[in-house]
Amino acid sequence: MPLIKLRGVTVDFPFTPYPCQEDYMSKVIECLQNKVNGVLESPTGTGKTLCLLCSALGWREHFKDTISARKIAERMGGAELFPDRQMSSWGTAATDGDTPTYYTDIPKIIYASRTHSQLTQVISELKNTSYRPKMCVLGSREQLCINQEVMRHESNHIKVHMCRAKVSSRSCVFYNNFDGMKTKIGDLPVDDIDQIVCSCRVCPYYLSRALKQHADVIFMPYNYLLDPKSRRAHNIELKGAVVIFDEAHNVEKMCEESISFDLTPYDLISAIEAVDRLLREQASDISKADSKNIFLNAQLNNLTEVLMDLESSINGFEMPANSQGITKPGSFIYELFQTAHVNSDTKTAVVEAMEQITGYLAGRPGVFLNTSGLQKVADIIQVRSMLKRSVGCFLYFFPIFIVFVSLSLLSWCLGLNLQRAIESVFAYFIGNVLSYWCFSPGFSMQELLRQGVRSIILTSGTLSPLSSFTCEMQIPFPVSLENPHVIQRDQIFVSIIEKGPDGVQLSTAFDRRFVPENMSSMGNTLVNLARVVPHGLLVFFPSYPVMDKTLEFWRVSLYFSLSAIKQQLPVVIDGYYDKVNDPNSSGGSFFAVCRGKASEGLDFADRYGRGVAITGLPFPPRMDPRVVLKMQYLDEMCKNKISGVKYLSGQEWYRQQASRAVNQAIGRVIRHREDYGAIFLCDHRFKGTEARNQLPSWVRPYVKIYDGFGTMVRDAAHFFRTAQKTVNPFLRPVPVRKEKESVWLSDTSQKAKTLASHVPSLKMRKLGEKTVASCTAKTGKAFMMELRRCLSHENFKLIMEGLQSYKTTDDLSDLLANVTEPLIQDHNTHCLLRGLYQFIRPHHKKEFDERCLELTGEGCGYKQEHSLSREEREALGQNPVNVRSEVQKPQTSIKEGLSCSSLLSDIKQAIGAEKTRQMFLALQAYKTSNNYEQMVFIITFYIFY
């Protein structure tokens, strides 16, 4: 493996790195050496994970070596161990600034990603390097518990209490086995934890917690770091550690959600019922009073009173007439809980009582009682207490709000007409919802800094725009990087499509998204793209309502033949992969939404994602109370202008949310350095300078704005033809999919493909994949239809004019000058040139055959009798049509032939008299308006289909 030197640190990298990979590793080392934070963006496919691991571990080894060098120097009494190499050449990390360091000061690396499945991929990458650090993976009982009696329960908090009960009673064999080998934990070969678990039958949950103390690298989902309750539960020590957030595009959202909550009427009622259940049982059976699990009646009564007082306080607020809820500052939550007698003096006893009741009911066989509400209230009290310790008297100014929302408003916010059904079925659940929302992700980041971490590195393939991202984090990032991609120019095609093939402006703005003309134009656009893009096309909508209503419109209007109903993601995506891999199919389309699992958590490499179409800017719902309050908060922070802190305005944040969702969806198209694909931004608003500037830096150089749809399609077709010849992609196996999302699968391989064949913007289609049929075998109008289908409007018009001129002038040289250039540029259109043989007059056929042989390498099948005139053939008794079955001289001009009575009769028989009348009305309008695209659109979609 090549050794490379970066900022004085030797990094063992598995391959010869690209320049962008060296830049990335240099930035990582800079952060670690200078003990500063960094935000690093590097596109998917640039080897980001491998660079991150090698650079961080290489720096850690260098740090350890410098300490060893200092120890040796101390033992040598100042003498040099190696005469040709001074000890100072080992570096200065042994002092780490002004502070002397020791082996115990070597930083642990905490590597956090979004999910355990992503961490599994990271560990696989680590095994491809030469580094073998001690490591462990932290997980919850839900992921790691192997006790079937515990895992059969669905509720996570029930699993927690059952596990604790079995551990305390020593009734779990897996924990007992772990307990017996605690003293040997430091000597275990931690390269393969699964092997240890299988061979020793030990509990992986407690094993991972024990290995954490000895590990050099600790892997965990990043909610374990950001959620103060989880951080405390896992006893994560952060002082001096290097914290890396991979796939950090979701960190902002996770920071806010980790200390936010919604307390519903159902939560409080289920909590009260759990306490009442235990109180009634205890009162009905006095003989159980001596049981160690029994609680004092006074204690239970006091807990019931606390919960009922809290419920009354929340429901005591009268909702305003505008149904917008009531907003209070964050500090008001202490006043609210004080009305339920929960304060700093009583909170510990209240929380302990709630957890004991939950654990007691969880361990009782045959008791089916929902205790999630009781656990939720206990967690809320704990989070509230931790926040108070963190921010103290400044909580009033801190960006956490309490919002009281009635159930009717909650239903309205969800876009669901459920109020009547809920009131009739769950009438006693009606009440106010207490929502405690954090609007500053910087709070969680500042908490990490207060824990004494060495460096925080945020990295992802999609963090753009970086300036707004770092503003939201509210901590300094002296080191930043926007890496280019490792792909070449001929591997990416980016287009902004302002108008569809019918000339209608594309937009999913609020006032345009459900306009029939707009939805029709979007459908027409996607049909064209599905035909140009080989294999798989990913289509992302701004939201589920837009996707659902648009697909329903297309189904009714017969735009698409949708072969699947709304299903869970694994079912639908398997159908999509099957469609793409089917040799008898020309591809498939996968419909999803921005911010969904498909846009963030799935790998559509190679043929599964040759193209990505973004159908609009996915702005958050503008009237959502959470969005409204977030924007109000940011505007207030900008207005106050707190010294040294920069905030986004509400509008800047709103636009940034849409841009980041678009960038994340765009990241599906190029998944590795040998991949290639196209990006189609199907909304006129992408033309704006601001929208384009917020695209990823590696995408911006390739963006091209198209006013004409046909021009874009021809360029896209040329791009794919070139890429298929020059790029040699390797196909990866179908990835494992565990997350779920409701999406649609569109079957674009049959009816939609046939439909698209009539659309003029597809005439320069990818003939390399579907070779044009033997055009010399088509006669008369059949050949004209094939010619019209395969060529652009301009080239078809040029050839028609050449044939008309040839009929008048009888000048073969002039005809060849007109028809040769558009037909010999692509070898797939050579047969079209030879197909013109049937329109060549007998005395020119030999010369035309020779020119075709010269230009295309193949003649037209000339025979001597083809040079005979009609009269000469009739005199010889030959049928002029049968002289060569595939060649026929037209009896009349081309224009007359296409409008002859037999053709009109065929059309009437095929589509009926009324549609024939509509077709000729459209043709008549075309003569007046000269709007060719509109004429073809009307004929194709409203007559033939």
Q: Which two tokens stand for residue 23?
A: 């830049």
Please report, for residues 9, 36, 122, 582, 698, the alpha-carbon distance to residue 22 in angstroms, rounded to integers and kept in the order given. 12, 19, 19, 41, 17
Residue 900 assigned as binding residue: no
User: How many DSSP H helices and E strands does the chain contain?
Assistant: 40, 20
Say whether 200 counts as a known binding-site residue. Answer: no
**DSSP code of 663?**
H
Helix axis angle, 793-809 to 812-824, nearest 10°: 160
Q: Are β-strands 9-12 and 38-41 bridged in parallel, bridged antiparallel, or unpaired?
A: unpaired
The response to whether 172 counts as a known ligand-binding position is yes
| Separation of alpha carbons 331 and 306, rounded Å | 20
Beta strands at 703-706 and 492-497: parallel, antiparallel or unpaired: parallel
* Residue 115, Cβ density class (10 Å: 0-12 exposed, 13-18 middle, ≥19 buried): middle
Please, are residues 634 and 650 in contact by the beta-carbon 8 Å criterion? Answer: yes
Q: Do 543 and 551 meet the contact criterion of CB atoms below 8 Å apart?
A: no
Question: CB within 8 A of 694, min separation 6: which ones?
Answer: 464, 465, 655, 656, 659, 663
Question: How many residues make up the chain in this entry?
Answer: 945
What letter represents residue 102's amino acid?
Y
Is 535:585 a contact under the CB 8 Å cutoff?
no
Sign of the CA dihedral with 611 first, then 616, 622, and 624 last: negative
- Tell me how far apart the alpha carbons of residues 884 and 869 are, in angstroms, rounded to a whole number: 14
- Structural element, H or E, at residue 53: helix 48-76
Q: How far apart are CA 314 and CA 295, in angstroms?
A: 28
Q: 377-397: buried (b, 16+ CB within 10 Å) or exposed (e) per residue? A: bbbbbbbbbbbbebbeeebee
Q: Which residues neighbour 556 within 8 Å (Cβ) at sequence distance 6 or greater?
A: none
Are 276 and 307 within 8 A, CB to CB?
Answer: no
- To the question of whether residue 203 is assigned a binding role by annotation, the answer is yes
Phi, psi at 587, each rounded to 5°? 135, 180
Contacts of 418 (CB under 8 A, 6+ apart): 411
Radius of gyration (C-alpha) of the chain in whole angstroms: 35
Alpha helices in 500-562 (DSSP H): 516-532, 544-556
- 29 token code pair: 């080392």
Q: Dihedral sign, CA of 196, 199, 203, 205? A: positive
Q: Residue 547 CB: number of other CB atoms within 10 A?
A: 23
Contacts of 369 (CB under 8 A, 6+ apart): 273, 274, 277, 361
d(CA 56, CA 309): 53
The span from the CA of 668 to the CA of 684, in Å, is 22
Distances (CA, A) of 809 to 123, 698, 800, 818, 905: 75, 55, 14, 14, 32
Distance, CA of 698 to CA of 724 (rounded, Å): 22
Which tokens belong to 814?
Answer: 């002039």
Upstream peptide bond of 735 is cis (omega within 30 degrees of 0): no
Alpha carbon distances (Å) from 516 to 522, 670, 707, 831: 10, 33, 22, 41
Binding-site residue positions for [4Fe-4S] cluster: 145, 163, 172, 203
Binding-site residue positions: 145, 163, 172, 203
